[in-house]
Chain A
Amino acid sequence: MSVLEVRGLGVDYDGVRVLERIDLSVAAGAFCTVVGASGCGKSTFLRILLGQERPTRGEVLLDGVPIPPEPMPDRGVVFQKYSVFAHLSVRDNLALPLEIQRARGLGRLFGRARRQVRAEVADLLHRIGLEHAGDRYPGQLSGGMQQRLAIGQALVLKPRVLLLDEPFGALDPGIKKDMHALILNLWQDTGMTVFMVTHDIQEAFQLGTRLVVFDKLRHDPHAPRAFGATITYDLPLRPPQPPAADRPAGPDPAAAAASQPPAPDAAPETGETPDAAP
């Protein structure tokens, strides 16, 4: 069953064709990684999946229904930067989604309700490894910690699809490895569908159950801007995980990781990362 379906999608910017003829169907529980040359339209594609922009042609369906033309809680997002709120402490960043859901007026809870919400996010705070930093502001966190927070915040409302645009692009390799372990753990525990754009081809092979490559298929040297990028390769790497409900109970990342055989055509690191604890 596919969660996300893209049909005949095309995007023009001021007459310049950026994307064309994109058809894609993402299965529930997939971890879809996307690579492509800089400027080929990966972020544009993600903005359309978010509902931040409308495609020039084609349509995007989420669970079989066309997405509304604005961002909604069914699609979570983490960008490379500016993904958390600088004026809220780590704990309040995590509480924000719940406060927004429960206080439809001001978007702010007080007293007991506020304490309740903060208690509810304590577990998530622990999972993203920031319990000791709960009262700090994002400006006082390292880049890796900020991205952990951003991922945690995006997961509070349990979106159907998590969209990531180079979320680890600004992090150094050691931190990146921790982040890979974190995102895989969260992905396995929640059974959600992940769609991740990256520049790091190794990362793409390592994390994804499916790798999608964006590139220009056609090229006219006399009119270099006449054709847009499309999906040129679509490699299955591993089977997507079954929906959370169908899996044996107990969030055991090691077991879940073991059930995913490394794909034969993947980079050599493929097998070892999923069970590396953060």
Chain B
Amino acid sequence: MRLINQKPSRIARYALGALPFAAVLLIYSVASKLRHMENPQDRLLPSLQQMAAAVERMAFTPSKRTGEYTMWLDTLASLERIGIGMLVSTVLALVLGIAMGAIPRIRATLAPFVGAFSLIPPITVLPILFIVFGLGETAKIALIVVGTAPVMTRTVAQATADVPDELLVKVQTLGANSWQIVTRVFVPMVLPRLIGAIRMGLVPAWIFLVSAEAIAAEQGLGYRIFLVRRYLAMDVILPYVAWITIIAYVLDRAFYLLSRKGLRWAHGEGGAL
């Protein structure tokens, strides 16, 4: 049979999917072992046991200085920032996006501006944000908003504009006023695309979060990574990176499932990834 027609079974699919992970883990372990045989003090490729010990120390042992669990504290601080930032972006995207997509006057007014704004490399705005808002939480959250809201807004505006004219005519023949058209047609119909925009926005949001934390913070996942970098503490950095990846993955899946379960109508046949 041709390769393009050979489909792996369910079990084979899982096994194949796990393969690259296992391979990386194996290669890493071997490399780490080799380096440690040469130099027991090696810090570059800590063994899995060393990393486990670091996680034990960071996540499950109260810090000697503060009596708190560092990794959870970092996680909470980061989640709070990214959560508030994405919430603000989502509200902005929904309000501005629907207004732009639905009302020609507002589109004419805002579309060029949002378009231009979305082209500013957000990280270049960070010094400005620190100067304006100080080194506290506001600047970090603002960076996430600056970095995600414009693109999310454009996505929602496009989704709004994509609502077929036929439906808008239809709902008008049912007597709807403008506000009712927003609540009964535009908002529900753009929700799937909004959730898609949030999932897409989370990717840059993590980058901006870690960048902002690296520069000025007292806690946070990004802050910790850049702090321990000074001591070449790869045994902490690697688990932190893995942890961030896991959180990002879980958030993405959660939004996907929210869409699948909450917006069944939008996931008819096939179903996207």
Contact = CB atoms under 8 A, between A and B. Distances in A.
Interface in B20-76: none
B196 to A, nearest CB: 15
Given A100-B180, A139-B268, A81 B166 contact: yes
Interface in A223-277: none
Nearest to A103: B180
Contacts of B176: 100, 107
A77 B265 contact: no
A87 B173 contact: no
Interface stretch (A9-17, A68-76, A113-121, A171-179): A68-76
A104 B177 contact: yes
B2 interface: no
A50 B169 contact: yes
B263 to A, nearest CB: 7
Contacts of A84: 170
Contacts of A70: 172
B115 interface: no
B184 A107 contact: yes
B265 A73 contact: no
A26 B54 CA distance: 84
Interface in B225-273: 263-266, 268-269
Contact of A140 (B167, B174, B188, B268): B268
B174 A87 contact: no
Contacts of A110: none
Interface in A81-128: 81-88, 96-97, 99-101, 104-108
A87 B266 contact: yes
Given A107-B184, A157-B175, A83 B170 contact: yes
A192 interface: no
B158 to A, nearest CB: 17
A73 B180 CA distance: 14
Nearest to B167: A82
A82 B183 contact: no
A73 B188 CA distance: 22
Contacts of A96: 171, 174, 184
Contact of B264 (A71, A79, A97, A137): A137
Nearest to A97: B174
Contact of A77 (B173, B183, B266): B173
Of A76, A105, A107, A138, the most chain B CB neighbours within 10 A belong to A107
B183 A108 contact: yes
A139 B265 contact: yes
Given A100-B174, A104-B177, A86 B169 contact: no
A196 interface: no
Interface in A121-155: 137-140, 153-154
Nearest to B184: A107
B268 A77 contact: no
Given A87-B266, A108-B183, A77 B170 contact: yes
B167 A85 contact: yes
B262 to A, nearest CB: 11
A52 interface: yes
A105 B180 CA distance: 7
Contacts of A75: 173
A71 B168 CA distance: 9
B215 interface: no
A228 B166 CA distance: 25
Nearest to B188: A87
Contact of A79 (B166, B180, B268): B166
A82 B164 CA distance: 7
A177 to B, nearest CB: 25
B174 A157 contact: yes
A58 interface: no
Interface in B92-133: none
B179 interface: yes
Interface of B: 164-167, 169-177, 179-180, 183-185, 188-189, 191, 263-266, 268-269
Given A86-B266, A99-B184, A139-B265, 16 more contacts: A70-B172, A73-B175, A75-B173, A77-B170, A77-B173, A79-B170, A88-B265, A96-B174, A97-B174, A106-B180, A107-B176, A137-B264, A153-B170, A154-B170, A156-B174, A159-B173
Interface of A: 50, 52, 70-73, 75-77, 79, 81-88, 96-97, 99-101, 104-108, 137-140, 153-154, 156-157, 159
24 contacts: A50-B173, A70-B172, A71-B169, A73-B173, A77-B169, A77-B170, A79-B169, A82-B166, A82-B167, A84-B170, A86-B189, A96-B171, A96-B184, A97-B174, A97-B175, A100-B180, A101-B175, A107-B184, A108-B183, A108-B184, A138-B265, A154-B170, A154-B173, A157-B175
The 4 residue pairs across chains A and B that have the minimum distance between CB atoms: A107-B180, A71-B172, A82-B166, A139-B268
